[in-house]
Structure 1
């Protein structure tokens, strides 16, 4: 059985006539009849009943036609998806930010990128938030925004530097502090991501010699921010994540220790993976956009 046999069955059923089907498929009538015999021998069943000049499907023929249409449809969809991958200016970019589900910083860049590549879809993959590196290695995402550049199986493009800040509501007792000593967190309720304490870099830096009064573990960045606004606890987040809330006066961001806790963020992609040109343009232009962006430039770490 070959694809040509499936197309033949579909066309004979549609036309109801061997002559018209042969003309549509650019075959001689004898060649089409030969293909039909091959299919009937393969299934060991009669597919069409010849009644006068009409070709009528048997029960077996209807079942075979149904399967043929499904297979041909799936093949066409696969062909379209492969074409999107191989075309230079059409396709999909799956992206995730390590540990953070806030993407307010991405919208202005996407409008620029979509002007250049209108056929490229940008899909945020929230399930990869807490395991971006592994999702890159498993090819479940195309680009991960991560805070280290240590994995030898990945390529990295530096995006920007940023600082982790203590986040409190304006009425909090820390709101006028110039910086916060880590030990001050010990008598506070602490709101963090729903990950094990031992894998949280910030948690281990803050609580190496003590523990918070209570820990709330939350899955979404937005929910953490809302809990801090409500006065339920304090949190530590990158300044770029909470900047809109700080500018609006809803939150106060305070450096941690005199030196601060600073990180560099990278766009990571899988090495040795053939990617369309628009993928490289995305990472290169994103880095340029973030460096030039007014909302991040003042926090650049050198």
Structure 2
């Protein structure tokens, strides 16, 4: 019979790469873990690992168990943490997943008053997900997903929290700086700077360049907004960002925002949550803080 401890061992051996390291992480002796591994394979009736010297390589059956462990164990761990919080009268940690790189500045404006309102709740922000943002939400790795690309899935709800326009950001002296709007073909000789996100999830590719059959001369990725826009200001490339973020940086850097296409690119940011968590007051409160945030409106009216 498959037990939870079997999944724990499979996951830990895969993480550590050897029985010796896994035994240490699990607070077991190597001999005890080796005996348990053999017993698991005997109980399941199939090899889970192929031995290659001192290292172990998962068989096809082992790969399946690892996939199962990575889906189920976070849910067990989340449930245990939640039960502990209920038992102790605590609310614990709100884990926020980010699929919107430029939204950190907006998130800070929401988190600050939220923490003041909920002093017994901690906030953790996660950006990298093994199975993507939706998978992280389903797998209980995060409790809220900030995303511009909601997906309708049973058991999940997405709440729109603000609208924004995606624009091209160029240096003040750039030839496109005085244009009313930019056409896709005007970027064929440009270096396009973006966050390190797959191009399939970048609006400037999906909604602007690819429909016109156009690609920039070069595509460069940069992690941080500050460095990205310093590169743009020094004429090292152009970037596509939300107008509210571009306007904030234009207050202190020689930058200009130009509309992408005659009609522009309109987007929304959503907060995704699990329907099963609908009764959590501190989670519902975070969504309300986000929805009522007037930061964007203040920027537009500035």
TM-score, normalised relative to structure 2 = 0.64
Deviation at 1:214, TM superposition (A): 1.2
Q: Work out whether residues 97 and 146 of structure 1, in 8 Å CA contact, stay in contact via their aligned partners in 2.
A: yes
Among 176, 185, 188, the alignment partner of 1:186 is: 188
The structural deviation recorded for 1:253 is 1.2
> 1:239 maps to which residue?
243
Q: Which residue in the other structure is 1:287 paired with? A: 291
The residue aligned with 2:117 is 116
Q: Structure 2 stretches of 5 or more lacking a match? A: 1-78
Distance 1:292 1:183, change over 3 A: closer
Segment drifting more, 286-295 vs 89-98? 286-295
Hey, what's the Cα distance between the residues in 2 that align with 1:85 and 1:225? 45
| Counterpart Cα distance in 1 of 2:241 and 2:232 | 11
Aligned to 1:155: 157
Equivalent residue number for residue 199 of structure 2? 197
Q: CA deviation at 1:193?
A: 2.8
* CA contact 2:166–2:242 (8 Å) conserved in 1: yes
Cα deviation, 1:17-53, whole Å, max 9, x if unaligned, reads xxxxxxxxxxxxxxxxxxxxxxxxxxxxxxxxxxxxx
CA distance in 2, matches of 1:270, 1:242: 32
Residue 97 of structure 1 aligns with which residue? 98
Structure 1 position 173, deviation (Å):
1.5
> Taking structure 1 as reference, are residues 87 and 173 closer, same or farther at Cα in structure 2, changes over 3 Å only?
farther
Alpha-carbon displacement from aligned partner over 1:47-105 (angstroms, at most 9, x marks no partner): xxxxxxxxxxxxxxxxxxxxxxxxxxxxxxx9887443677763211113314155222
Q: Secondary structure at the match of 1:207?
A: helix
Question: In 2, Cα distance between the equivalents of 1:87 and 1:276?
Answer: 16
Secondary structure (helix, strand or coil) at the match of 2:153 reads coil
Larger radius of gyration: 1
CA contact (8 A) 1:159 1:290 kept: no
Q: 1:201 Cα shift?
A: 3.4
Cα pair distance change 1:131/1:227, threshold 3 Å: farther
Give the total of aligned pairs: 221
Instruction: Identify if the C-alpha distance between structure 1 residues 261 and 101 changes in structure 2 by more than 3 Å, giving closer, same or farther.
Output: closer
Aligned to 1:142: 143
Match of 2:6 in 1: none
Contact 1:165 1:253 in 2 (8 A): yes
